[in-house]
Structure 1
Amino acid sequence: MITLHTAATPNGHKVSIALEELGLPYTLRVLDLAAGEQRRADFLALNPNGRIPVIVDHAADDFVVFESGAILVYLAEKTGRLMPTDAKGRSRVMQWLMFQMGGVGPMMGQANVFYRYFPQKIQPAVDRYQAEGRRLFEVLDGQLARHEWLAGDYSIADIANWAWVRTHRWSGISIDGLDHLRRWRDAIRARPAVQRGIERPPAKVDLARDGDAKAAEFSAQARGMVTGAKI
């Protein structure tokens, strides 16, 4: 059994999707980020960086893994699925996983802050992060023009990137004209395990679908987290 310490964010959903795809039994421990539960001593004992997600693998002497990318690799290696075992195949998956970890996630995260949450509208910052997010989407689209999935078969690389790409509207980044990215996004969204994963836990606002009115309400609530340095 695995305990998943998480919240309804793209990084959190990366892990719940993987657990659902792999069919591993797990229980949820949902943290209230707005209340600062990620800074409590019991959680910091698991992840000194105070960020979700974290897993505890009780079948492996309560082994703790933090950082979403590291968790995905651990789960893939534990089960022998969602990542090849040969050196070249594994490297291809790792390259696209790192692409998300070092590029897509950070750029979209900053776009979210300046587009949705920051109390003052700093347009050059909004433009910079949205433009870089769009550029990274174009890189993904180019890869998907030549391949069904990002790195051979469907893998943790697809899961990691998809969990962020699906929220492009929340970041204010268009995917118009990126037909291969859209095809890939829709194919992953149709997978039953993915549908279950994004409901574990369900979000207060669906970053992929909810309209502007609900988004504005949620942004107003989240703005206090940014100004109070709670995330």
Structure 2
Amino acid sequence: MSKVMDSFVEAVSDIRDGASLIVGGFGLSGIPEKSIEALCEKGTKNLTVYSNNCGVDDWGLGLLLANKQIQKMVASYVGENKIFEQQFLSGELEVELTPQGTLAERMRAGGAGIPGFYTATGVGTPIAEGKETKEFNGKTYLLEEGIVGDFALVKAWKADTLGNLVYRKTSRNFNPLAAMAGKITIAEVEEIVQPGELDPDEIHTPGIYVQRLLLGTNYEKRIERRTVIKA
């Protein structure tokens, strides 16, 4: 059956107040621009968002933040967003900083049905506070929980109507992991083809993980921080 939907507004219509979202992207690369805009328009509040970072002040997840729709942010990097800083310092925003590799593995574990795993990352730091530890071969490890979100929002380059996804270059980043970890995964893409037109060896996310598929157009694909060499 085709998973293609016509409207981003319809695709996010059942994301209710208090829902948990796993969002793909790294910086502004590979972010689900259209789904975020639709959710911003919907105005859903008290969201818990799991993502590498929270965009910038006026783009990406920063739009939801500016609209005060995010209650808790679980991320590995937060340095590009002044609104984030202001809301955190004022107590409006709950923040859980997670090492980047740990965040990625928590998504992968959740998507694979693994409730928890042990990692050495964060041992002896504030990250370890309140977490169970265990020794393996004389080394201490932390127990981290897998993440499963009510919804996942991801951006891919190409898909077939069954939801099989192909990502392009660095925009692959967290997207395959996020797609695995949502109970309902909403994927937006730049091109949709018919089943059989994708080489099975180029598929990064199997369609079994994707419930809703949308074709997006006119992507801005902003650069978070442009660095050039003087001529």
TM-score range, shorter chain: under 0.3
More helix by share: 1
More strand by share: 2
Q: Which has the higher contact order (CA 8 A, sep 6+)?
A: 1
Normalising by the residue count of structure 1, what TM-score does the alignment of the two structures yield?
0.26
